A and B are shown apart, each in its own frame.
Chain A
Amino acid sequence: MKLSSILLLLFTLPAAASGYSQSDKIKLTSHSGTIADVIEAIENQTEYKIFYKTDQVNVYASLKVQDLETTVGSLLDETLENSDLTYSVVGKIIVLQKESKEQFAAGKKITGKVTDKTGGPLPGVTVVIKGTTTGTTTDVNGVYTINDVPDEAILVFTYIGMKTQEFVIAGKTSIDVILEDASVGLSEVVVIGYGTSKKADLTGAIVSADLKQFRESPNTNIIQSLQGSLPGVTIGQIAAAGAEPDIKIRGRNTLSGNDNPLIVVDGVIYRGRLSDLNPNDIQSVDVLKDPSSKAIYGAQAANGIVMVTTKGGKKNQKTQVTYSGFYSMQSPIKNRRNLNREEFINAGRDTDYTHGFLAPDYIQPNPAWDYGQVTVLGSWAFAGYNNGSDYNWYEETTNPSSKKNHQLSVKGGSDKTSFFFSGGYSDELGWVINDNYKRITTRMNVDTKVYDWLSIGTNTFGSFSNFSGQSPNLSSLPVMMPIAQPKNDKGDYVYQPMDNAYVNPFLQVQADDYDHQNNISSLVYALINVPKIEGLTYRVNYSYNYRWSAHNNSDKYGQNQTGSAYKISNNTNDVSLDNILTYDKRFGANKIHGIKATIVAGFNTNQYSYTKSSATGFSNLNLSYNSLQSGVNPLAESHAWNESFLSQTARIGYDYNGKYLLSASLRRDGYSGFSENHKTAVFPSVGLGWIITKEALLENIKVIDLLKIRGSFGVNGNTTSRYSSLARLTSDIGASYLYNGSQYVFGDGGTTQTGVYVSTLANKDLTWEQTHGYNIGVDFGFFDSRITGNVDYYISKTKDLLWDLILPSATGFTSIKSNVGEIQNSGLEFVLNIKAVQKEDWNWVLGFNYAKNNNKINHLLGQDNNEDGKEDDLIANGLFIGQSIGSVYTYIKEGIYQIGDVVPTGFSVGGYKFKDISGPDGIPDGKISAEYDRTIIGKAEADYQFGITNTVSYKGFALKFFINSIQGGIGKNEPWNDPQGFYGKTSTVLYTNRYNDIDSWSPTNPDAEYALPGITSPVSFSPYQNRSFIRLQDVSLSYTFDQDLLKKAKISDLRVFASGKNLFTSTKWDGWDPETGAGLEVSNSGLPVMKSFTLGLEVSF
């Protein structure tokens, strides 16, 4: 417990209670010079925590201390001898205060028990009568007794790391209290990049995740546990087993540059999969959102930074072994299915309505219409049609999904070394058959003090994921016709059951597939407290992250049953080194000036290598993928890249009495991926803060605990993909189809010749995309922190946007990577936490967060070629001045042409009708054209999002639920596979099956949402739909066992829980899910979001 843990404390206990302090040995060196140093020495070297009130005790008062080895008691006696301070010891707590002459008032005895949220008893909580120095502390069972309490008194409960609470006695003699974690308290330490900071000292917008809120959810990826709970941070749903969620912070700051936030794990930039980090190993996640906080990572900072800190042990800690585990069952949140035989044939009749029904109104079915006679069916499907087959492909190729998770960790520490070891195992069975994911993770975090001045340590982990097993393409499942069967009479799989290019989805499952992805990362550090210069430390971080994967596959049905096999191996090596010098010291009378300066220099290199060997045409695949030379068409392929970063950073923080705050930083960054003329750039930032409640004026207003205003400015960069400034000479080999591309063979029996062409244009002036942004925020706490929260407003402008400027294709190129224009993001974020009920047994805590982001394009090329006095849009790129980046520019749908309507040339009955907005003369011309009849109908970005957390606890029970919502934004929701395919899309219904929830037009369903499948139109159009939703994302019920009971079983902690995820979603979006954007379309990426039920437990010994 450092000096940072300053707490209010007002009580007296007889010094005679200080029994232990006489025996604990402590060593001081002669340069120690203040009470603060003495306190720090005691806290570092012993288990004692020291409390005092800042306005009573000036800890920076000078002392004369010699080199000595003594006991805590005699040290304190000696130190305080000539001061006006006294000390008292209760358990492991030492309280410093001014000597008090106050007398106790007569009153009654109050008792009670203090517990944490989970019901665990809290020993060592101080309980005092407000306005006096009378008080006590709780015993090991969390029980306290306090005498002589007046009836009108208020009891104040304080405990390190918990929020202070007050209770009115109001005649009661027993008061039980549950203390809350001080998660928004100013004592909290946050990770800010190359160091940490007290939350109190921040001038920017950094949010810390409340990881406890979601610890009952079956999340195997740490990022999932942040979903919806951090304002301004949007995290996507994941659907496939082991997939990575998408993260966006404060909207899009780029048009086409990289838009993923930078991930920093234990101070080192991490470029691996987030799924490789075991959520149980994570201590904290802090997100840097505002430009000044981000600026410390300069050129890679524009999209925000996620700082992940892993767990460590503590010195002098009893070894604790913890097991936790859960089992989870999952199913899609929507019950979609595909059409059965009867529905399928009827859908075909609807589609072919001009023949399937009788003219003129096409309501009466035409008895002569016969599906088998109007379609081109292969013999197998035709046989199935004739013999009444009705096979449910969809159900047979999906199964209930489950997740198993086991975690074991050991942590502890001696006086010099602390450690944390963990191992984890996850086993996930996906919803589509064979979509499996297994992961083993291990971690070893060790820190040891070699000398007084030198500590070394390592944070090392390994993660071994197994994706083996090939699952069918999702797009191949719902399309299978119910009249086709997977197996023939002999029981063998039919290769192409519909006699078309769709291969039997069961065949992919038969492949021998080995798919392992491994990740080993080791951070090694040394920390030196530079002697002779107090407050100066030097830290060096060296990190090596090696990721490699092997994907081997052999499929006897591959390449049209001649057999195919391949082996792919790739590896990535990330190396980084950072040298960090930190100077942290207070100066002046009463140490009123605080300075914290940091200088960093470092580099980072990333290397990638990929090799693939494959062959087809095997006489047999008995040796699977291990004898590719037995195939007839061997093919080899390899790729590689390198990139490097170089940076120098300086940051200074200054505070005046912890009241006025200033921070500033400057970073110079270099990146190999930028053009010759712009390899490096400089990114500055500055921030100011003012804690108003520290002013004398507000100090006595008890309603307001905290009021802080902060404002900041910073410049951040964004990298582009490597090699993007270079022109490329490319060969397309096997790009789209095995034998096409740039290769050609002259003459019969000739050999392959490989062509090359210039595929991209060089841009030697491609420069950094720079974001300049401002942030202003207020942190507040009212009514003894019953209500806390913060509000942030920001505005940022990104210039020189990296953009693939579309060129006329007549140039031979479709685009060139360029710097264009300026976009602006502005938004408001709001967090509110309310302790609605705080009773002995009952507690209700409510949290609310809200974020709104607007983006718009301020400038593009700065040209006004049409001379209308307004800068020109880039219509070809879909970019419009003054509009959002995600503007959707298309036609306005005005219903569907009905039978009997006058249908313009090229359009058809059952097709969409469009609004005739304008024409060449500025008025509607009776013709629908791309030039005059498209307009902006909306934007892809959401208007705002919010999350509501609720925790209700009763004794050991805690019920939590979390509601997540994103409002606004439209997305393409196209019900048909290939809406504008040149042969039309009738095949979607006539020759392939589809989902049952598509509301498409037919004469008997004239008010449908979607057009008749298979019709053509001169207008290429896709429908859009609103993606708003509100979702009950997490619900959990946990029970923490009473510790008295557990003690007998030598268990220190036991908690069981049940939880549900994504149980209810309200939306008007059609298809799978509005959050993922997977709609009605049959596609490979559009996996459904899962809802799950989970049971779990956590036990510590």
Chain B
Amino acid sequence: MKSFITKILFLSLLLGTMLSCNKDEFLKEEPLDFLSPDNALENVSDFESALVDLYAKKRDMDYGISDESFSLLFGTDILTHARGISDLTAPKFSSLVVSLTPTGLVPAYYWERNFKIVSGANVIISRMPASKLTDAEKLLIGAEAKFFRAIAYRELVYLFGNVPLITEEITSVRNDLTQATKQQVLEQMVADFKDGATNLPAINKVKDGKVSNIVASHYLAETYIALGKYDEAVTAATTVISDPNVALMKARYGKRTSVAGKDVFWDLFQRGNVNRAGGNKEALWVCQMEEDVPGGGLASTKKTINYLERFHVPNVYGLTDTKGKAGFQGPKSNDNVGGRGVAFLRGTKLLEVDVWPAGYTGDMRCNDNNFIKDAIYDNPASVDFGKSVRANPGVNWKAQDWRFYSWFIKATTPGDHPTNMLLSNGLLNGDAGGTQRDMYYLRLSESYLLRAEAYLGKGSKDLAAADINEVRGRALATPVAAADVTLDYILDERARELALEEQRSITLRRVGKYVERVIKYNPLTGASALPQHELWPIPLKDIEANINGNLVQNTGY
């Protein structure tokens, strides 16, 4: 009998395990290695992290290594695909009919990424009221988030025209979007930039790379111009220009002043000279790149992001000599070879020749320091060793004219590549090709040219000319006469000053001159340009996914 009781006890014990579990507790799901937004955006540091992501996303969009990166430079009046449509590599924007389709990757790239920034900014703005932020922190954080929302809409509105205007965090299914008018979007941008101009700290109070009140003022001015509000634009731009903490750099400065024979325009694009910490008072907003630090974007051992060198510098090291033999030893970090260029993004004739004075004299920006126009064969084994490439064109350059062209040193860092990219024989390894320094989003010279645009809009040509001449004066170029100032002149001046820095496609579309100027100055892209190309197509994917709303495709697509 005793054994029977033991059995029953044993059985009861086991059966007990069947019932002894608290279901709700047992099935509760708690993430272990990620945070949930419900409880994670509370303190100021949480919100600052959310802002950091916006900076990172912006950098990734503009300087990342997606196939679509740098698309806002290609196919414009001043820059074109070097190799042309008839050649071997199918190039960016060689044909607008190919590049700009509703299923195209380029429109989708800028659409998605800018809206992702809008979404990130909206999360911050919508979560702030319930958070633990103080009122002062709310103003500061909110202004920075709004700045990013507006900077994203800036690209969206100029590229796509009427776009959905979303100003609240989306927390559940939304497929009922409709478009706001371009006017409505611009007005929202004005409100957001105004908030930034008011509430963001002064430029001397922010870390390098962070946006300040005058950066917001600059874009506020730009948006006013788009709305035709020139007086407001002048006021906003003047806030920037008159800020005592900024000034055009007029004398040599920074880390490489020891390199003799160079000038201030050259100094502006040297490693370590771009941020204000490097003595630069002209930089307003700089895209941060830091070598060998997580999040720094650059690696001294690897081509990571920012392929401007690769894209813009011609393929000098691959040039053959007049006998068809290797004319160069290989990729080198100097003014002659320019690194590891592969020749994708070259200037149009407008940028290479026509905007400059005859003989390239009388403008610092096109002198031999800053604009390289020839190369010297450097292969001792070549019959043409030591001779000029232009004077002695080699076999492959004669066959393919894209292999060499004049190029701007601001695309790279000649003589100053990280040592990890150098092979023992002094050549650059296969991972070179990135531009290894910080990149300007905004320089004060652009604010002068922007205010000139506003003055021109008001009809004050003399004031416009004065602003332009501030910029020209620094470059030791002859002043422009007030009578000669036109919108096209300003666009040309921007080309001289800001080529490869400004997102040229945005500038042209902002002023409504994309199709006109691309037909006029870019034979390759212009050949396929149609009136509809002033705007990009809305991605078809979004139209299809927006099943409960209506997104109207831009005319002509």
Give A contacts to B, CB under 8 Å: 351-352, 354-355, 370, 372-374, 376-379, 382-383, 386, 453, 495-496, 499-501, 526, 528, 530-532, 538, 540, 559-562, 577, 579, 601-603, 616-617, 632-633, 635, 638-644, 646, 648, 670-673, 679-680, 722-723, 725-731, 733-734, 737-758, 761-763, 805-814, 816, 818, 861, 863, 865, 872, 874-877, 905-906, 929-931, 980-987, 990, 1014-1020
Contacts and interface: CB of A to CB of B under 8 A. Distances in A.
A352 to B, nearest CB: 6
Contacts of A635: 294
B315 interface: yes
B393 to A, nearest CB: 12
B149 to A, nearest CB: 11
Interface in B404-451: 420-421, 427, 429-431, 438
How many B residues touch the partner, as a band? 35 or more
A499 B432 CA distance: 11
Contacts of B91: 983-984
7 contacts: A372-B324, A379-B329, A729-B35, A742-B295, A746-B210, A754-B295, A811-B166
B207 interface: yes
B304 A811 contact: no
Given A378-B430, A813-B170, A931 B102 contact: yes
Contact of A453 (B7, B31, B177, B548): B7
B28 A672 contact: yes
B41 A729 contact: yes
B375 to A, nearest CB: 15
Contacts of B32: 639-642
B54 A737 contact: no
B444 to A, nearest CB: 19
Interface stretch (B196-204, B459-467, B481-489, B539-547): B539-547
B31 A1016 contact: no
A562 B420 contact: yes
Contacts of A640: 32-33
B15 interface: yes
B29 A722 contact: yes
Nearest to A380: B330
Contacts of B90: 983-986, 1014-1016
Given A748-B272, A980-B105, A986-B88, A737 B65 contact: yes
Interface stretch (B111-119, B233-241, B500-508): B111-119
Given A808-B545, A876-B545, A756 B50 contact: yes
Nearest to B29: A672
B56 A741 contact: yes
Interface in B328-375: 329-330, 342-344
A14 B543 CA distance: 89
Interface in B534-557: 539-549, 551
Contacts of B35: 728-729, 756
A726 B294 contact: no
Contacts of B135: none
B89 A1020 contact: no
A739 B123 contact: no
A731 B67 CA distance: 23
Contacts of A638: 33
B27 A1018 contact: no
Interface stretch (B16-24, B186-194, B242-250): B16-24
A11 B342 CA distance: 93
A262 B429 CA distance: 50
A875 B175 CA distance: 13
Given A603-B21, A807-B175, A906-B97, A744 B41 contact: no
A930 B112 CA distance: 19
B98 A559 contact: no
A531 B101 CA distance: 78
B158 interface: no
Q: Which of A751, A809, A814 has the most CB of B within 10 A?
A: A809
Contacts of A929: 101-102
B92 A982 contact: yes
B258 interface: no
Given A751-B293, A752-B295, 11 more contacts: A617-B292, A644-B27, A727-B171, A728-B34, A739-B299, A750-B208, A805-B173, A808-B164, A808-B174, A811-B166, A863-B547
A560 B111 contact: no
Contacts of B122: 812
B476 interface: no
B318 interface: yes
Nearest to A816: B173
A397 B534 CA distance: 51
Contact of B14 (A579, A877, A906): A579
B296 A382 contact: no
Contacts of B23: 646, 670, 679-680
B64 A983 contact: no
Which 6 residue pairs of A and B lie closest in terms of their CB atoms, listed nearest first?
A812-B119, A743-B295, A755-B53, A984-B90, A982-B67, A755-B52
Nearest to B65: A737
A753 B52 contact: yes
A744 B115 contact: no
Nearest to B127: A758
A734 B294 contact: yes
B301 A744 contact: no
Interface of B: 4, 7, 10-11, 14-15, 17-19, 21, 23-24, 26-38, 40-41, 46, 48-57, 59-60, 64-65, 67-68, 86, 88-92, 95, 97-98, 101-106, 108, 111-112, 115-116, 118-120, 122-123, 163-164, 166, 170-175, 177, 207-210, 272, 275, 277-278, 288, 290, 292-299, 301-305, 315, 317-318, 320, 324-326, 329-330, 342-344, 395-396, 399-400, 403, 420-421, 427, 429-431, 438, 528, 539-549, 551
B327 to A, nearest CB: 11
A738 B299 contact: yes
Contact of B324 (A373, A643, A739): A373
Contacts of B301: 559-562, 616-617
A744 B544 contact: no
Contacts of B326: 379, 382-383
B290 A745 contact: yes
B520 to A, nearest CB: 20
Contact of A646 (B27, B40, B277, B540): B27
Contact of A810 (B4, B163, B294): B163
Nearest to A990: B88
Contacts of A1017: 98
Contact of B115 (A496, A562, A641, A812): A812
B171 A742 contact: no
B528 A905 contact: yes
A741 B60 CA distance: 8
A870 B217 CA distance: 53
Contacts of A744: 52, 55-56, 59, 209, 288, 295
B429 A373 contact: no
A747 B67 contact: no
B544 A876 contact: yes
Contacts of B30: 642
B103 to A, nearest CB: 4
A818 B67 contact: no
Contacts of A642: 30, 32
A722 B30 CA distance: 10
A501 B111 contact: no
A919 B57 CA distance: 38
A810 B542 contact: yes
B54 A755 contact: yes
Nearest to A600: B18
A748 B290 contact: yes
B36 A811 contact: no
A346 to B, nearest CB: 16
Given A644-B26, A723-B29, A755 B49 contact: yes
A645 to B, nearest CB: 8
A666 to B, nearest CB: 16
Q: Which of A740, A745, A753 has the most CB of B within 10 A?
A: A745
Nearest to A981: B67
